[in-house]
Amino acid sequence: MKQRNTQTRRRGIMVRAALAAAAAATLASGTAAYAAPTVTDIQFHYVYTNAGTGDTFFNVMENRSDSTWKGRVLLQTKDGQWEMLPDEIAGLSQPIQSPYAAIYSQVQSLKRFDDAYYDPDSAELVTGSLYQNSPSGKWGLKYILHFDKFPAEGGYSKGYGYAKRVAVLLKNNQNGVIRQIGDLPFMPQYFWLPDGSLMEQRFSKEDRQNEIVRINPDNGLAKRLILGSLEAYSNGQNEILFARNESTRTPQIYDFRTGKTRLAGKNEANALMESYQSAQTNTSGKPDAPAVPADLDIDALPVMTTTSRQLSEANVLVDDKTISVPYSFFGLDSKLYVPIQPIAQALGWKVTDVPGNEYSFSIKTSHRELLADKTNSLMYNSRLFVRIDAIRAAGYTNTGIQWIQPADYHG
């Protein structure tokens, strides 16, 4: 009996081994039959040359045989050496009023922060907000693309539609305080005036026409300068070219120093328009991009050694805890909004969707449940911001904010 059981076990082992071998052979056959996608085309796009290091950057687009593509970044050092940036960087954008280049990251590479940028002087990848600085460096602008959900009829999933909007944040680089100054259905354009304030053209719903306003950066409040449409202006100038909202569209000059307007001569108006348009598309002073060698094998190039860090812009203080957050801001209603995710993670709160509602989230705290909706919260770039007074009302009365002064401000 014992011998028969032993033989049975041996036959079972042999059968399992045979099945495993067959499965392995099938897997090997399938693997051999699967052809990994190949690169069919490589395109190099010049981004910019860093004035400090002399490094020149190119965005690389690799088109593949399966109709997918991958973005990478190639650089040539000042001494002519070719290198690659780490693979998590899918692309760079040319710096705009900032010494840093914004990063297009690979999917899912950013978890806690919205943005990232590359500091070429220190070869550092920084996850944190990138701002467009004012000429003085005292202020910085940040644009957040987001989608506002609204009830809709016909053609929309579950009866809702989404409208693209742009939220605008203004940061004081001296003390770190951030205020929201706009939430618009298009990308706005701001200009810095000689006194350090902002100028913007916007549509007045009350007057049903364009107006030009001055925004006080300290409090975000706007004051109308004139009813009219902006035609030409350059940062730091004392005059603008504008036209009244009328059929003749007669060019006029507005002087910030006196608050007075006058008619603009034809030659004067043309000169201002040409100067403005030239500034918008100016490429003078930019070095010629070096040619990328046709036989350059980017897969064989060394990858630049970089360091990385996370840049928090505020700490939320809850009782005896200090919680680092990517950023917070005073909203258009002058209320302070804080990102709920890092706070919930630090305090063990649970955040869930409330089913069946257009916009509602349940936040279960150790004190009581907090309901976040459009009356006390904002959703920007898939990040939920809740008013700090709503957190206090949920039982956390000893809650505050600590702004972090930017380390690179030297004003």
What lies within 8 Å, CB to CB, of 398 at 6+ separation is 317, 318, 319
Average pLDDT score, the chain: 83
Residue 124 CB: number of other CB atoms within 10 A?
Answer: 14
CA-based nearest residue to 230, from 247, 216, 213, 206: 213
In a domain, 276, yes or no: yes
Report the C-alpha gap between 131 and 137 in whole angstroms. Answer: 10
- For 4-33, write each residue's pLDDT tens digit: 343 433 434 344 444 445 445 544 555 455
Query: What's the pLDDT at 152?
Result: 61
Query: What's the pLDDT at 322?
Result: 96
Q: Is the pLDDT of residue 104 over 90?
A: no
Q: 33 versus 1: which is more confidently predicted?
A: 33
Does pTM surpass 0.75? yes
In this structure, the answer to whether residues 193 and 271 fall within a common structural domain is yes
- For 141-164, write each residue's pLDDT tens digit: 999 888 876 666 555 555 666 788
Count of alpha carbons within 13 angstroms of residue 117, beta-carbon side: 19
Query: What's the pLDDT at 15?
Result: 40
The segment with the largest mean pLDDT, out of 100-109, 127-136, 275-284, is 127-136
In a domain, 153, yes or no: no
Query: What's the pLDDT at 142?
Result: 92
Report the C-alpha gap between 135 and 132 in whole angstroms. Answer: 10
Query: What's the pLDDT at 99?
Result: 80
Query: What's the pLDDT at 180?
Result: 95
**Eight-state DSSP code of residue 367:** S
Least confident of 14-23, 84-93, 287-296, 373-382: 14-23
Which domain-ending residue is among 269, 285, 301? 285
In a domain, 40, yes or no: no
In this structure, the answer to whether residues 280 and 335 fall within a common structural domain is no
Place of tokens 């150790």: 366
In this structure, the answer to whether residues 270 and 333 fall within a common structural domain is no
Count: domains in the chain: 3
Structure tokens given for 200: 């913007």
In this structure, the answer to whether residues 349 and 395 fall within a common structural domain is yes
Q: Is the pLDDT of residue 61 over 90?
A: yes
In this structure, the answer to whether residues 273 and 344 fall within a common structural domain is no
DSSP-derived 3-state class of residue 2 = helix
Range of the domain at 266: 189-285
Element (H, E) at 344: helix 340-347
Q: What percent of the chain has pLDDT over 70?
A: 82
Q: What are phi and psi of 14, to 5 degrees?
A: -65, -40
Query: What's the pLDDT at 45?
Result: 94
Q: 75 versus 110: which is more confidently predicted?
A: 75
In a domain, 377, yes or no: yes
In this structure, the answer to whether residues 270 and 329 fall within a common structural domain is no
Place of tokens 């989230």: 361
What lies within 8 Å, CB to CB, of 234 at 6+ separation is 191, 275, 276, 279
Mean pLDDT of 231-257: 89
In a domain, 80, yes or no: no
Element (H, E) at 225: strand 222-227
DSSP-derived 3-state class of residue 145 = strand
Contact 337, 387 (CB under 8 A): yes
**Eight-state DSSP code of residue 298:** G
Strands 229-232 and 261-263: unpaired
Which domain-ending residue is among 270, 285, 300? 285
In this structure, the answer to whether residues 316 and 281 fall within a common structural domain is no
In a domain, 67, yes or no: no
Least confident of 94-103, 151-160, 185-194, 246-255: 151-160
In a domain, 367, yes or no: yes
In this structure, the answer to whether residues 278 and 330 fall within a common structural domain is no
Q: Is the pLDDT of residue 246 over 90?
A: no
In this structure, the answer to whether residues 201 and 249 fall within a common structural domain is yes
